[in-house]
């Protein structure tokens, strides 16, 4: 990530020098930094709401029940996670919310899942295979209802705004399969540091 980050920064400055867009950069930098904070703080409301509901669901035993329900699949995808971990329920909720296009609810569930996965991480600060797979899965989630796209199509006067549902389902399923396969296939190329060590 460090290399990629520096690469992006340097490439931007070099390109701006070549294209003569350097005057636009200082403004873009300040504006982006500000927007990152707005984005984060914009999450506070929905995060608080769903974190609260999540806690209620946990105490009522709902999260555990959901985790048990999805265990046959999740155990294969996340073999290193204890089957009784609350992470399983949080992952199930996250995937279900993503499929319904409920991005607002999916993010808090996903963060909860990451927190539970971090509890069983022998190398804090470095992603485990389970966390890497979970995040990759979230960047390519299976979509049953791409709500914002359908709204845009309706606004643009499409004959049937939702006629892209089947194609979207097909494409997002392919993306999800690719995410799982790639995360699994690439895991040995990115070995974690030895447990307990600070790492490079």
Partner 1 sequence: MLKGALEALSTWAIPLLVAGIPAWALTRKVKVYPVFVEGAKEGFQVAVRVIPPLVAVVVALGMLRASGALEGLAALLAPVTDAVGIPASVLPMVLVRPLSGGAALGVVADVLRSDGPDSYAGRLVSVMAGSTETTFYVLAVYFGAVGITRYRQALPAALLADLAGFAASVVAVRLLFG
- Segment lying near partner 1 (by CB under 8 A), choices 66-74, 78-86, 135-143: 135-143
Choose between 61 and 79: whose C-beta lies nearer to partner 1.
61
Question: How many positions of this chain bind partner 1 (CB under 8 A)?
Answer: 114
Structural tokens at position 130: 């389970």
The site map against partner 1 for 44-83 (x = CB under 8 A) is: xxxxxxxxxxxxxxxxxxx---------------------
The residue from 31, 73, 82, 195 that contacts partner 1 (CB under 8 A) is: 31
Considering only CA atoms, which of 10, 26, 7 is closest in space to residue 18? 10
Site residues (CB under 8 A) for partner 1, limited to 94-123: 100-102, 104-105, 107-108, 110-111, 114-115, 117-118
Q: Which whole-number Å values give the CA distances from 15 to 9, 23, 27, 173, in the listed order?
A: 10, 12, 16, 36
Considering only CA atoms, which of 131, 139, 148 is closest in space to residue 176? 139
d(CA 79, CA 198): 25
- Segment lying near partner 1 (by CB under 8 A), choices 68-76, 82-90, 139-147: 139-147
Considering only CA atoms, which of 58, 48, 30, 160 is closest in space to residue 104? 48
The residue from 37, 74, 86, 196 that contacts partner 1 (CB under 8 A) is: 37
The residue from 72, 76, 189, 196 that contacts partner 1 (CB under 8 A) is: 189
- Taking each helix axis from N to C terminus, what angle separates 62-69 and 44-59, rounded to the nearest 10 degrees? 80
d(CA 170, CA 168): 5
Min CB(84)–partner 1 separation in Å: 19
Min CB(76)–partner 1 separation in Å: 17
d(CA 78, CA 147): 29
Q: Is 178 in the site for partner 1 (CB under 8 A)?
A: yes
The residue from 76, 146, 194, 196 that contacts partner 1 (CB under 8 A) is: 146
d(CA 70, CA 67): 5
Min CB(26)–partner 1 separation in Å: 9
């Amino acid at each position: 990530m460090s290399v990629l980050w520096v690469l992006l920064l340097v490439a931007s400055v070099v390109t701006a020098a070549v294209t003569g867009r350097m005057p636009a950069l200082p403004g873009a930098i300040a504006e982006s930094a500000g927007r990152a904070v707005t984005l984060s703080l914009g999450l506070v409301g929905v995060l608080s709401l769903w974190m609260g509901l999540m806690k209620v669901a946990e105490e009522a035993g709902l999260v555990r029940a959901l985790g048990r329900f999805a265990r046959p699949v999740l155990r294969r995808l996340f073999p290193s996670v204890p089957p009784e971990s609350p992470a399983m329920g949080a992952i199930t909720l996250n995937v279900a919310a993503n499929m319904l296009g409920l991005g607002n609810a999916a993010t808090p569930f996903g963060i909860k899942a990451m927190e539970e996965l971090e509890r069983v991480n022998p190398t804090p600060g470095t992603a485990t295979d389970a966390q890497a797979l979970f995040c990759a899965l979230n960047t390519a989630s299976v979509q049953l209802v791409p709500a914002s796209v359908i709204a845009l199509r309706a606004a643009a006067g499409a004959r049937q705004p939702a006629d892209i549902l089947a194609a979207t389902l097909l494409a997002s399923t392919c993306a999800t399969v690719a995410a799982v396969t790639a995360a699994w296939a690439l895991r040995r190329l990115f070995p974690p540091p030895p447990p307990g060590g600070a790492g490079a």
